[in-house]
Structure 1
Amino acid sequence: MEPVRQVEGRAYPWGAKNIDTDIIIPAHWLKTTTREGLGKGAFETVRAEPGNVFDDPLYAGSPVLIAGDNFGCGSSREHAAWALADMGVKAVIAPSFSDIFSGNAFKNGIVPVVLSQEAVDRLVEVARTDEITVDLETMTVTTPFQDRFPFELDPFRRQCLLEGLDEIGMTLARDTAISKFESGAAEARPWIKVGAGHEGTLVESDRRT
C-alpha cells in the first residue's frame, strides 16, 4: 500500500445518498480472482444512464469522490473498495459511511472523509469547476476559494495511511520486536517446542501433569 499524505485533483461531484456496495460494484463482478479491472464495473448501473458523472470527460481519473450520507451501506464486500481503488479514487468524502465499508476503504489506502452535509454540498459545487485537496497531515479539505473543512480520523488509521502500512506491513514493521519476544519466550520456557504439527508439542499444562 502506498503512503497517502495528500490527495489533490478533480472530484466526482456526485453527492448521491444511501449508495450501497451493490451499486458500487454489482454482484456479477465478484467472481473475479484479481482486483485489477474492477474499476470497469464500478457504478455500472449508474454509468448506464446518459450524462452520468462517471463518464464525463471533465472528471475522468478523478482521485476524489464526493458522495452523500450512508455511503457504502449494504453487503460487506471488499470488492467495493477494490473497484474504487482500481478506478483511481484515493479519497471519498461523505456525511457518513457504513462502518464495514470505512474499514475496507482504509485497508485499501482510500481515505474516508466525514464532513457535514453543508460542507459536502459546498464541495460538490466547487468540484464542478475546480480541484479540491484532502490533506492528511493538516486533516483538512481545502479549495482554491479559501474553503477549509477540518475532519477527524482515527489516529491509528491516519498513521497507517501516512506510512502506507496495511496489516501485513504493520506486522513486518514489528519483525524485530516479534523475533525478540519469541527468543525470550524460548529461553524462559524451553519445554515449549513448536513443531510442524500439533502432535508431540508439549505445552505448559502438560508439564504440570
Structure 2
Amino acid sequence: MRLVFLGPPGAGKGTQAKRLVEKYGIPQLSTGDMLRAAVAAGTPIGAKAKAVMEAGGLVSDDIVVGIIVDRIEESDAQRGFILDGFPRTLAQAEALDAALKSKGLKIDLALELKVDHEKLVDRIVNRAQEARDRGEEVRKDDDPEVFKTRLASYVRDTAIVAPHYKKQGLLVEVDGQQPIDAVTDSIENALSSGLTKN
C-alpha cells in the first residue's frame, strides 16, 4: 500500500497518517526527516544534499526523489509507505512516478483531504487563541499570518498535484471537515474500494 497524502496545511493529514501507520504498520515518510537522516548517515545522495544545503541552496527534486527511493528500499517500507507533504509540485509528482516505475513500483492511491480554506484559517486562529488562553506559546505554524502564507503557497504549487493523480484514476477525495473519527472511516472506505480497483 503506497499512499500519497494531499491537502492544505492544517487539514489533518498528520493525524490521519499516524492512524494508518498504527493500523497497517507502514512508515509515514517525511521528506525533511529523510533528508536529515540521509545527511547524517552519509549516504551518497545524503552527501549531495549536504553539499547543496551547506552552500545555502535548495535541495533539487532529483535529490529528494533519490532520497525517497533509497528510503523505500528499507525493510520497514517493503509492505508500503505513506508520503505526507510530498510531492509538493507537479514536477515532483512526475519525478516520483518515473523513479518508482524504474523500480517496478507505483503509487496505489492519492488521498486528498478537502477542507474549506476559510474554515481552515478560522481553525488556526482558534487554535492559536486557545494556546494563548492556556498561557502557552503559539506554534509558529499556528500564527495566522504564517499560516495564510503557507496556504497561498499550497494553492499556488501543490493544489495542481491532485489533478495529476486524478488523471491516473488514483485520486480519492475525503471530506476533511468531518469529525476526526469520521475522516478516518472515510479514508478506510476509500482504501478498501480504491485498492481493490487498482
Same-fold status (TM-score > 0.5): no
Query: Comparing both structures, which one devotes a greater share of its residues to helix?
Result: 2
Give the TM-score normalised by structure 2. Answer: 0.31
Larger Rg over CA atoms: 1
